[in-house]
């Protein structure tokens, strides 16, 4: 805590100043950089919010750590929290043919009374409809299975890299990160070249005489798993590597010294101590995999129910923004709740 707390009286002044600077920056961006006005607006809101948080921090006497995260915090507010509330607001209305394509939340009658139009009926509709339920369940299942596979493949890789000596370790790490230099979309397209009827895998197997007829791999759930596991594997490997590399080699020696075989050592020492990495990696794979749209669309069967595709259909085919918004909000809740639970478990473990 800083020892010189500014008096609360100065807060309106500071806040006004900060908002002013934000506005000025926005105006500058429009004028000098030739940015479109809405981009400039977002920019100035971000800066304004960040500066506001900064000012608020000064008044509340937050430590300087808070000042450091003020800008990412502002970013998070503008590009996550605000859209979230916009979606939440849309999900409470009804689809209408208009611009924007949803009804207002309240209406002012001619006699001046206010009529509340907001309702939770979209949520009731989604939860009652088996189509959505199945889409959620199948998305969660695809994400869960992919996460398990990514963990099973990623753990040995991360372990091997963490136990390697320099410079081999850096080269291996680079190889894990290297695919990010190519567009994600291109890499998924590349899999079509491997998996299709006349693809690399089928040609190779036919040439080797292992199979007589090409295997059907494209447009199967298997192709979707391959695509998701392949794409998100680095997100599993990197946090696992980060925890495994910190693992003190003396602990493994101590376990061996006390009579534990290498396998017992792994399950009693290495695995429990890499749990934070497992949790982090699994979340990084599971969360985006739940909402994955591109991979099932490119590699999967057309009837494969995924919540990402349902979302797309609701927004762009049915043009039912309120239902689509409700679908998105429910998905978010489904993903966020387990994360919060995991976090709290982890916090409790650390305190113990």
Partner 1 sequence: MPSNPAIAANTRPWRDPAAKPFISIKSVTKRFGDFTAVNDVSLDIFRGELFCLLGGSGCGKSTLLRMLAGFETPTAGQIIIDGQDMGRVTPDKRPTNMMFQSYALFPHMSVEKNVAYGLMREGKSRAEAYERVGEMLKLVKLDQFARRKPHQLSGGQRQRVALARALAKQPKVLLLDEPLGALDKKLREETQFELVRIQETLGITFIVVTHDQDEAMTLATRIGVMTEGVIKQVGEPRQIYETPASRFVADFIGSVNLFEGQVQSLDGSQMRVRTTDLGEVLAPSAPGLSVGQTIWLAMRPERAWMTRDVPPDGVNTVPGVVQDMGYVGHMSSYLVQLANGRVIRVTQANEGRRDNPISWDESVHVSFDPPDFRVLTE
Q: Which stretch binds partner 1 (CB under 8 A): 132-140, 175-183, 224-232, 250-258?
A: 250-258
Out of 36, 72, 272, 301, the only residue in the binding site for partner 1 (CB under 8 A) is 272
Show the tokens assigned to 138.
């199948």
Out of 109, 165, 259, 317, the only residue in the binding site for partner 1 (CB under 8 A) is 259
Q: Which stretch binds partner 1 (CB under 8 A): 64-72, 138-146, 224-232, 264-272?
A: 264-272
Q: Does the CA dihedral 303-308-312-318 come out positive or negative? A: positive
Measured from the CB of residue 261, what is the shortest distance to partner 1 in angstroms?
Answer: 6
* Helices then strands, each counted (H, E), the chain: 18, 2
Q: Is 350 in a helix, a strand, or coil?
A: helix
* Residue number with CB closer to partner 1 (67 or 260): 260
* Residue number with CB closer to partner 1 (166 or 198): 166
Q: Which helix (H) or strand (E) holds 116?
A: strand 114-116
Do residues 287 and 346 lie in contact, with contact meaning Cβ atoms separated by under 8 Å? Answer: no
The residue length of the chain stands at 352
* Residue number with CB closer to partner 1 (24 or 345): 345
* Residue number with CB closer to partner 1 (212 or 257): 257
Q: Does 268 bind partner 1 (CB under 8 A)?
A: yes
The angle at the Cα of 114, spanning 111 to 118, to the nearest 5 degrees, equals 145
Q: Does 345 bind partner 1 (CB under 8 A)?
A: no
Measured from the CB of residue 272, what is the shortest distance to partner 1 in angstroms?
Answer: 5
Instruction: Please give the backbone phi and psi of residue 333, each rounded to the nearest 5 degrees, phi first.
Output: -65, -45
* Residue number with CB closer to partner 1 (174 or 250): 250
Show the tokens assigned to 229.
């596991």
Instruction: Give the Cα separation of 60 and 69 in Å (integer).
Output: 15
Measured from the CB of residue 254, what is the shortest distance to partner 1 in angstroms?
Answer: 4
* Residue number with CB closer to partner 1 (99 or 352): 352
Out of 3, 64, 213, 257, the only residue in the binding site for partner 1 (CB under 8 A) is 257
Q: Does 260 bind partner 1 (CB under 8 A)?
A: yes
Measured from the CB of residue 194, what is the shortest distance to partner 1 in angstroms?
Answer: 42
Q: Which stretch binds partner 1 (CB under 8 A): 38-46, 129-137, 179-187, 263-271?
A: 263-271
Q: Does 129 bind partner 1 (CB under 8 A)?
A: no
Q: Which stretch binds partner 1 (CB under 8 A): 74-82, 150-158, 179-187, 256-264?
A: 256-264
Applying CB under 8 A, the site for partner 1 has a residue count of 18
* Residue number with CB closer to partner 1 (107 or 253): 253
Q: Does 238 bind partner 1 (CB under 8 A)?
A: no
3-state secondary structure 259-326: CCCHHHHHHHHHHHHCHHHHHHHHHHHHHHHHCCCHHHHHHCCCCCCCHHHHHHHHHHHCCCHHHHHH
Measured from the CB of residue 155, what is the shortest distance to partner 1 in angstroms?
Answer: 18
Alpha helical stretches, state H, the chain: 11-33, 37-60, 64-68, 70-76, 82-91, 121-128, 130-163, 168-177, 184-195, 200-208, 221-246, 249-257, 262-265, 271-273, 275-290, 294-299, 307-312, 321-351
47 CB neighbour count, 10 Å cutoff: 22
Q: Which residues would be at the binding site for partner 1 (CB under 8 A)?
A: 248, 250-251, 253-261, 264, 268-269, 272-273, 352
């Amino acid at each position: 805590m800083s020892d010189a707390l500014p008096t609360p009286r100065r807060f309106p002044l500071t806040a006004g100043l900060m908002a002013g600077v934000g506005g000025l920056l926005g105006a500058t961006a429009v004028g000098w950089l030739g940015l479109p006005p809405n981009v400039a607006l977002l920019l100035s809101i971000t800066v304004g919010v960040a500066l506001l948080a900064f000012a608020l921090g000064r008044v509340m006497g937050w430590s300087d750590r808070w000042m450091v995260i003020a800008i990412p915090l502002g970013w998070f507010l503008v590009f996550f929290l605000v859209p979230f509330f916009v979606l939440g607001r849309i999900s409470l209305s009804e689809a209408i043919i208009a611009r924007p394509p949803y009804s207002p939340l309240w209406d002012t009658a001619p006699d001046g009374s206010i009529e509340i139009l907001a309702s939770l009926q979209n949520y009731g509709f989604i939860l009652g409809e088996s189509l959505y339920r199945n889409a959620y369940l199948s998305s969660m299942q695809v994400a869960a299975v992919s996460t398990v596979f990514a963990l099973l493949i990623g753990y040995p890789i991360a372990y091997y890299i963490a136990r390697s000596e320099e410079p081999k370790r850096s080269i291996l790490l680079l190889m894990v990160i290297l695919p990010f230099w190519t567009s994600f979309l291109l890499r998924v397209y590349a899999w079509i070249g491997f998996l299709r009827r006349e693809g690399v895998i089928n040609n190779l197997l036919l040439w080797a005489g292992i199979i007589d007829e090409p295997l059907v791999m494209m447009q199967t759930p298997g192709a979707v798993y391959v695509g998701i596991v392949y794409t998100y594997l680095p997100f599993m490997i990197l946090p696992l590597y980060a925890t495994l590399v910190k693992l003190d080699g003396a602990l493994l020696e101590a376990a061996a010294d006390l009579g534990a075989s290498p396998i017992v050592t792994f399950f009693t020492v290495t695995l429990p101590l890499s749990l934070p990495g497992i949790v982090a990696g699994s979340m990084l794979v599971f969360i985006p995999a739940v909402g994955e749209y591109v991979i099932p669309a490119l590699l999967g069967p057309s009837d494969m129910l995924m919540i990402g595709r349902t979302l797309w259909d609701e927004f762009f085919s049915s043009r039912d923004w309120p239902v689509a918004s409700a679908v998105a909000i429910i998905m978010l809740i489904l993903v966020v709740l387990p994360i919060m639970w995991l976090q709290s478990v982890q916090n409790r473990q650390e305190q113990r």
